[in-house]
Structure 1
Amino acid sequence: MPPRTALSTPLRAWKCPSCSQRTFTSTAGRASVGPEHPRYINFPEPPQQNAPQHKWMKGVLPVPRDVFGGKGAGDQSSEEALARKTKAAERQRDPEKGSREAWKARMAEQRKRNLREGVRELKDRQQKTRRRMETAQAEKYREQDELLSRPEREDERLTTPSHGLDLDALYHGQVPDPSRQTRLALKRERSAAFEATRTAERLDSVNTLYSHARNFIVTPKQLDEAVENAFGTNDFPVTFGDRGEGMSIWETGKPQSVQDMLNRANNARSSKAIESAGGYIAINQERVRRIAEALTGGKMDTDNF
């Protein structure tokens, strides 16, 4: 079979329909408006952007007629006015049933009844509306009077630019203060109590200083004696322990802990804590020393107990 010859006309290259319409931007185009339109790009809007615009109506409405404005004979809703407008016919006729005269009489009676009912309903509605308006106005006046008579709040009083003081009395005299004498008397009592407490503390400190002054080191000789008593000499140093051979203070045992001191001060119930703090003898000595200080009014040395 002979080979097929090439086509005389070349075929067009196939293109995707969706790709042929693509642009160089990722933003979706708005086919309804052009790029120069303000709404070409969709921006979110708030729920209530502007106040609603009321439609402007042409012309002027006539002033409604005041039907219930007058009093007495001028009031069109009174029973006398209704009786005059809806009075019965002067000549009473008995028309035939189904005749034109009977229909006209029935329609006239219907109009009179509608007029009476309509005027009475309008009067009733006017009275209800007036009472509602008067009640709302009275409530509004009451709220205004309550707000006007309400005392000033503390934050408003403290932040208001108007202080409400008498500037003439402030600049040229003393500001009236009814409770000044009471406050001054209270301050005098507090000051006297504070001075008495401070004086008692000073006397106690002076007495304590006087009682401790006998052990003060004031000369080099006393310093040498205190150092020799605490550490000994080079030939005979101070030793520690039961046998007297230890060279460290730890040979006597560990010092008191904070818990032991608290138990001793609070008179703990545990007998073990009391024994570790020095036993009942140390506690009784401390109590007797305090009693003696309270009776004599001075400080007692711990060496005498």
Structure 2
Amino acid sequence: MPPKAPIPWHCPSCRSFSTTTTRRQLRPENPNYIAIPQPPQQTLVHKPFIKGRLPVPRDIFAGAEGKDKASPEWLDPHTKPPSKDVQAKQGSREEWKSKISSMRRQNLREGLTSLKARRDTEASRLKSKSDRNQKARHEALTRPEREDDRLTAPSHGLDLEHLYKGFIPSSPGVRPDPTRDERIERMRANVAARTEASRAERASHLNTLYMNARSFIVTPAQLDSAVDEAFGTPENPVRFTGSFDGSAIEVSGNGASVWASGKPDRVQDMLNRANNVGGKSAFDGMNPVEEVNRKRITRIAEAFTGGKMDDGEAAKRYGA
């Protein structure tokens, strides 16, 4: 009974469910599912993968004891025909062995001669290529500088030693800038002025910090006193009552509030006080002349003392 023919196997994922046959079917996870044009690589040399490791080719001309294997001095003794001319029968084993020996001698002579010629040709080609590279390198090293390179080079090509010696009066060289001393003195004065301004600003900041530090809260007792002053005590909390006067709404009630001492200034009030318009100026509730004199005396006191002073202290000390 003859064996059954094998049933061809088809991949289930590649099976077509359409009546029209397709030449190519790829799943979405295939990297070639979306056709992406590839850039041409004309310079890419195809190097097929060689399985295994190839042995290092040996030098067939080594071991000749200083003789050239392709020369007649070495080939003649190794390819010498037999001394006895044996007349073998045609078609016999002796005739076959004689032909094989003659062919072996001929192949050895021709093989060594052709390999020597090929090695000499390759060595000559490599030597000529090396000579061309050495010549091109020597020409590039000894080539004169191009004009565009010379004009655009960052180096000025001056004699620096001669230039530096010019700044020493006892040595000859290029004369220094005649205005050099004046420029140096001006720069020193600028540096001193900046240093003094920085020192004065730092001293002013320290003095302002010292003046403002008198109202800093640094102890728990001061914190309790400030909290009691702002919010009152549990027995006598700060309370407020208010009314609507057309400019602001104040809530009435018995709860504690930080606005019991008065409502804060609006933005418009601050702008009017700064611009002195609309009857809302910095002199509201006081004599304008007294306010100007007070600020003037404060500035004079700060100039005398060299630091920041409160308006009240300046007025008390200098009689504002």
- TM interval, shorter chain, is 0.3 to 0.5
User: Higher helix fraction: Structure 1 or Structure 2?
Assistant: 1
For normalisation by structure 2, the TM-score amounts to 0.40
For normalisation by structure 1, the TM-score amounts to 0.41
